[in-house]
Each structure stands twice: as C-alpha cells, then as structure tokens.
Structure 1
Amino acid sequence: AFTTIFDIVKLEPFYKEAIEQCRSYNARLCAERSVRLPFLDSQTGVAQNNCYIWMERHHRSPGVSAGQMYTYPARCWRKKRRLHNATDPRLVVSIKACDKSVMF
C-alpha cells in the first residue's frame, strides 16, 4: 500500500514510544550486566569488562537526514594506553647473581 505523509505523522508517536521503551530496556540490561562485571568468560577465557558504547537520552538530537528520527554524537574508540615494555616494571626481567655453591 502507498504510505502518505499523513500516515507517517500518525505513526510517529508510536515509533517514538517504541524507541523509548527499547532504550529503557537496554538501560536496565546494561545496569544489570555492569553489576556482574568484571568476570572471566568460561567459554572463551576472556575477562569481560564494562564497555561505554551506549549513549544516554541527553546525547540524542533530532535527525538531520530525511527519515532519520534521532542522531547521536560520534564518539571515537580509543585504545587504552599501555606502558612501554622497557618501562613496565612487571615485564622487566630481573637477573640475580647465581650462587656458585649450587651446581646443576
């Protein structure tokens, strides 16, 4: 069936309500998961940490393109800085003097 602009205007409040319900569900889900973090995944052996990829409602802006309800600000992914191997005290190999009385 051909959709008119009037049909879209009538459906927009329902769509916005569905988006809000989805956001609310995702927020509850993230809150429940963050309580259980960090944990070691038994299947993969990888430590799972909290991620910060979810946007809050106050980040939401009106859409800028046709058919776009909302836009969110771009947030670049940044890798955590790691210490250089030579300066990381956990990775420095300590050389101890060998006791000559012990023979192998």
Structure 2
Amino acid sequence: MEVCIFAGICGFQTKVTAKTDSEYQAKLLFETDCPNVKKMAAALDTVNVMDELFKKGQSQVMAAAQQHLPHITCPVPVGTLKAIEAGAGMALVKDVSITFSK
C-alpha cells in the first residue's frame, strides 16, 4: 500500500509504501525531502502490523516519530500507520483529510 502525505505549511511531501506479507510483517519504504522524516525512516524497517495497530504505547512508528520529529502534529506517523493498516487489509482504502476553517 502506498500513501502520499502532504504535511502542510512545511511544504514537505512524503510517500510511504508498506509492503505486508502473510505473517503480518510490514516493510516500510519512505520517499521524502524532509530531513526529520528521513531520520524517522532510518529507525524503521520491518514492523509487526498487529503490534503497530493494537498494542497501545508500543508502536515503533510512534516511538521513532517521538524521537526524530520536532513537531508532534506532523501527519506522517499517522499516515504511515494508515498505510500499514490498509496494506494489511485491516481498513478500506479511503483518503483522510484535515480541513481548517476560520
């Protein structure tokens, strides 16, 4: 499963590919120009789908984000988890969005 994440005001885009096998292991590949997401990506390779989605507080994706991303509101970690979830067939593929209004 491949997702494209447009992070907002920083202007960075990230493409995340989650390749899931029959053992619920997801190999993560990141394409981005964001130096912080690159650091996060370097800390991640293959993750256990069930651990990422259902063991609260034990997500490798969220731990890597907390360690390497300076902004807690960066949408890349959640987008990565959505790629894992849909790639494993545990969610229907549907775009998500955050819309601001004044």
Task: Return the TM-score normalized by structure 2.
Answer: 0.27
Instruction: Specify which structure has the higher proportion of strand.
Output: 2
Structure with higher RCO (Cα < 8 A, 6+ apart): 2
With structure 1 as the length reference, what TM-score do the two structures score?
0.27
Larger Rg: 1
